[in-house]
Amino acid sequence: MRKEKSLFKYDELTNKVMEQSIGFTKSRVLLTAYELDIFSILADTSKTSDEVAQILNGNRQGVERLMNALVALNLLEKFGKAYKNTKAGYSLLVKGNPHYMANLKYMTYIWNNWENLTESVLNGTSLNPLLPKDFDHEQLVDYLAAENWLANLHIPEILKICKFPNIERILDLGCGSGALGLEIVKQHPEVNLTLFDYPNVIEITEEYVNKKGLDTKVQLIGGDIFTDEYGKGYDLIILSHVLRNYSVLDNMNVLRKVFDALTKDGKVLIHEYLLDESRDKPEYSSMLSLDMLVSTENGDMLTETDIWLLLKEAMFSNIERELTDFGSYLIIGHK
């Protein structure tokens, strides 16, 4: 095989910047192939670009160019005129496989938001803020599939760190698919779980509850975390990747309501990726900060100090924090 040469015969720093400048092209190739479901069309077989184009009712030359690019990215292999999935393409990108990356369809929505990054930077806010309550049904299904896929990767580590002795009632606030709360109930059948999210989200959350056979053990509440009541008497309230979507003032109000909804010795568990105090590291959180800029009205990634101050302002004490193996933080505040 011919060895790939450096794309640009510049110095190392120039090469790095040039490669970053065209990095979006690789992302778009993957997302377009995912949208067209090319990996699932191939599955464990091989097909020519003609055959794939016919299935897609698309242009053969356009499909062939895309599939050749996927070969270059090591997501497809090519034998003569036939293409097949690589190990990565088959295991991660074919629907129905155990490790199928259900989150990538939602990435196409994020892509559309990022087209407005320049204008959002100049305006200091999103041109088209879009929270789950504003999604149409298809967007919401894709969003919850992405959220559920990621949550299930992280849950074993979270449950290894967090123990739940003497917990009878849990509220998963802004629950999404409800993955974390549902797994706790599976492991601790004595726990009473309430899942709370926007009404349109909860309709789909119910499907996840039913798939796990936990419909008789879980209460579902559709509402707005700012204006509606959560109920009272919870021993634990979970906020996983919720606070980043809202302003500091909004988060203060939410945490005050959380404090009031807890029992005397109750706890709040906040799960978030955080920025360091200089707000420029780690890279993933810095990119998420920009994602909040293009997709929310006032959201932003938080630092550990930000969350500590929010919890203190809401009257929480004895604040603990743990760093997970996948780079997020678990922060626990005690009432």
CATH superfamily of 117-334: Vaccinia Virus protein VP39 (3.40.50.150)
Least confident of 151-155, 173-177, 233-237: 151-155
Distance CA 38, CA 65 (A): 13
Query: Could you tell me which residues are beta bridge partners of residue 234?
Result: 262
Q: What residue ranges in the chain does DSSP mark as E strands? A: 47-48, 76-79, 82-85, 169-173, 192-197, 218-222, 234-240, 262-272, 274-275, 302-303, 317-323, 329-334
Average pLDDT over residues 25-31: 96
Q: State percent of the chain over pLDDT 70.
A: 97
Which band of pLDDT confidence, cut at 50, 70 and 90, is reported for residue 31? very high
Confidence of residue 9 (pLDDT cuts 50, 70, 90): low
Q: Give yes or no for residue 18 having a pLDDT over 90.
A: no
Averaged pLDDT, 133-158: 92
Instruction: Take residue 243 and report the two structure tokens written for it.
Output: 């606070």
pLDDT tier at 225, thresholds 50, 70, 90 = very high
According to CATH, the topology of domain 12-95 is: Arc Repressor Mutant, subunit A (1.10.10)
> Do 12-95 and 117-334 have matching folds?
no
Distance CA 130, CA 209 (A): 25
Dump pLDDT digits (tens) for 285-301: 999 999 999 999 999 99
Q: How many Å apart are CA 326 and CA 332, to the nearest integer?
A: 18
Whole-number pLDDT of residue 239: 98
The tens digit of pLDDT for each residue in 82-106 reads: 999 999 999 999 999 999 998 898 9
Per domain, the residue ranges of the chain are 12-95, 117-334
- The predicted pLDDT at position 192 comes to 95
How many CA atoms lie within 13 Å of 78's alpha carbon, on the beta-carbon side?
A: 15
For residue 8, is pLDDT > 80? no
pLDDT, one tens digit per residue, over 167-217 is: 999 999 999 999 999 999 999 999 999 999 999 999 999 999 999 999 888
pLDDT of residue 122: 96
